[in-house]
Structure 1
């Protein structure tokens, strides 16, 4: 491995700082992001024939993992495995660019749905719900949870019926992505290929203004600092799922 250039080191430091400053990049996602920054910018470890593998990241980040296993007597015991490939796999899967129903809800979490019926004194009831469902916006495809307490089930049924009729007469578009893609904001990789490898059913979701698809950033070659390589030149680095690595 050749020594990194000053430009590479500066870009690496800037990427690490940006990862730490991003509120969406924390915990294991931050660790994996720092590993990818080192690999793609400093080429440490060097890129293999098929890119970098999930197993290579796991060897550095989680070299020893303890998982439950059943022995020949039917007893559960702790079994040591090396390395914890599934942990890296799960981290990357949760960061796939996608539409997440719960990101559209108040608080962005499950369990925040309250009765939405209007009362004479309040714009919404606010009591604990006994029934709940999702309503789809026929114009955008986005969904929101709507629930009702025991007193307002008639209102909830009317909301559900009206939404079903509104959606039946139009073609519902795919909702725009509102979750995932945090690492793609900072690291240049062939992310669509990686996301499809993690989830074969994944297709690029629609995007809204304010989120740019990842593009190859400016890279100055250490062999020729005066000649930059930009998008349209060499292909993006690859982070590959190697067959058999998750078995």
Structure 2
């Protein structure tokens, strides 16, 4: 009876984890498919008394989600690589020129063609932007900031993207991330959790579906 109670608690915990995964706006597409596959592989191996260690579980996940371990052989590795905790500069919301105007307040705003990175050489924080043909000469300023950042040892702020998988699974994620992306060192932190999607509730009778 105690064993059945333990099994029921484990099933309930797993069901709750699945609900959180499916309602996590940061966990979508292949990343969600990978997470659900990993959860199933862990549960199956635990039921069989086997450890989830080494890299064989990556093959098991690929086989589970595709039916063929040879299909998209490096799919699982690529999914993990895209989840490496890292810092990414804020993206430009358009291609308007970011050069400050002299005779009026604000930015130029004309269509830009030259991509630049406005980088803080002391912290590594940055924001992408564009310069129009008229203000292309300002590109030298941003290149100088990048050279200064290199001279300062390339400081990096905390991660602001990636790290979603380690919200749900305890593992040596630093080691796993290094395996998936040897050229990039996983940073502390990760993408700040987005509030879960609103849940829909079905009202019986003449009511409506509402959040």
What is the TM-score normalised by the length of structure 2? 0.72
- Equivalent-residue separation in structure 1 for 2:165 and 2:176 (angstroms): 12
Range moving further from structure 2, 41-50 or 23-32? 41-50
Is 1:98–1:205's contact at 8 Å kept on the other side of the alignment?
yes
Select which of 51, 61, 70 maps to 1:82.
Answer: 70
Q: Structure 1 residues 175, 6: closer, same or farther in 2, change over 3 A? A: same
SS at match of 1:134: strand
Match in the other structure for 2:91: 105
Match of 1:151 in 2: 134
- Cα distance in 2 between the residues matched to 1:18 and 1:173: 34
Q: CA separation in 2, counterparts of 1:168 and 1:98?
A: 18
Aligned counterparts of 2:181 and 2:151: Cα–Cα separation in 1: 32
Counterpart in the other structure of 2:121: 138
RMSD: 3.1
Q: Secondary structure of 1:181's partner?
A: coil
Contact 1:95–1:183 (Cα < 8 Å) also in 2 = yes
Contact 1:32/1:88, CA 8 A, preserved across alignment: yes
Counterparts of 1:208 and 1:93 in 2: how far apart (Å)?
14
Which residue number corresponds to residue 221 of structure 1? none
Q: Deviations over 1:34-66 (max 9, x none)?
A: 1112233563674356365211111110125xx
**1:124 — aligned with what?**
107
Are 1:61 and 2:49 matched, yes or no? no
**Deviation at 1:207?**
3.6
Indicate the residue corresponding to 2:28 in structure 1. 26
Whose helix proportion is higher, 1 or 2?
Answer: 2
Matched, 1:92 2:80: yes
Match 2:179 to one of 194, 197, 214 = 197
3-state SS of 1:6 partner: helix
5+ unaligned residues in a row in structure 1: which ranges?
65-80, 212-247
SS class of match (2:187): coil
Gaps of 5+ in 2: 194-211
The alignment of Structure 1 onto Structure 2 pairs a total of residues equal to 187
Q: 1:161 to 1:8 in 2, by over 3 A?
A: closer
Change over 3 Å in CA distance of 1:49–1:149 after alignment to 2? closer
**SS where residue 117 of structure 2 aligns?**
strand
Kindly state the Cα deviation for residue 137 of structure 1 after the two structures are TM-superposed.
0.8
CA contact (8 A) 1:15 1:187 kept: no
